[in-house]
Structure 1
Amino acid sequence: MSAQALQHGNINLQTNTKVTSISSSPTACGYWLVQTDRGIIKARKVVVASNSYTPAILPEYRDQIIPYRAVACHIKAKGPTPLLVNTYALRFKDWDFDYLIPRPDGSIIVGGARSAYFRDKDAWYNNTNDDEVIEAAREYFRGYVQRNFRGWESSDAEVTEIWTGSEY
């Protein structure tokens, strides 16, 4: 339906556009004013699809949507390793677990590392900073598969990419 609306010019889809505010009520003519890094957009209807960033745009949601940062990485071995064919959750405590998603090329996506950074609440709680990785997680993932999987001890597997993102 949205593809048809785009084709007919019924909607203006703005992607990769930072929204800094939305007016608290429509203008007398019925338009909402959306302030963006590209300028002001006037719209009769606005759909906000910003997940954990919503409270920054719509402050009335600050108590309902509280973002937190999480960390994931891509691990790849330099040589042959046992093939992991399932997704896994490694649970260390009730609140502490990691997830693993094997990739067709033998590499693995691993997310978690919460135990490495949860005591530094400012680093993750109510934080949407996706510009930098939580450093404690970087160290946590170093040697991860060698520590946790039999047959990977001498694999020379290493983190090739690491990223952070906000969830809610």
Structure 2
Amino acid sequence: MGQGTLIVLLSGVALLGWGVWVYNRLVFNRQRVAEASSGVDVQLKRRSSLIPALVGCVRQYMAHEQGTLQALVSERSRALELGEAALAARAPVEAQLSGSLRQLFALVEGYPELKADGQFLELQQAISECEEHIQMARRYYNGAVRELNVLVESAPSNLLAWLFNFAPAEYFALAAPEEGQSPKLEF
């Protein structure tokens, strides 16, 4: 075997090794995005499951704030309807739901009896913790998306990504800043 043949053979083995390594990184990052998406989904479902108990607790104290409670229930329903949709499609609805929760907690300041209710305090704490977990899960998801997208879009790994049909993932972000604002409710 000549020296030229050996160089070609070693180059081929090195190229094949690089291809396997890049392919495995693409698979790893795609799986990490899926796992992160599942983590965000779990937290969003957890928050949605707490809202009926919160509305029930608040309803007895805030009889004349029914518009706020109805908006919250309506936004929760929309979020549940989009439960199987991609995170990027759900982001605006989930942001509206977060805004409504913040608005409800702001209204509660005018109800000292409600603020002292043990069940309400537990629910408020659980939802606050849930919002923090959603933020952490969303940051992790967006980081995983970034890592995958860098591999899919940068050369030369984009050649293998194209060859094996790896596509960039969508970030969990709002399309427009106003989608994250609390809804304007009239009383």
Query: When the two structures are superposed, what TM-score results if normalisation uses the length of structure 2?
Result: 0.24
Query: When the two structures are superposed, what TM-score results if normalisation uses the length of structure 1?
Result: 0.26
Normalized per residue, the structure richer in helix is 2
Greater relative CO (CA pairs within 8 A, separation 6+)? 2
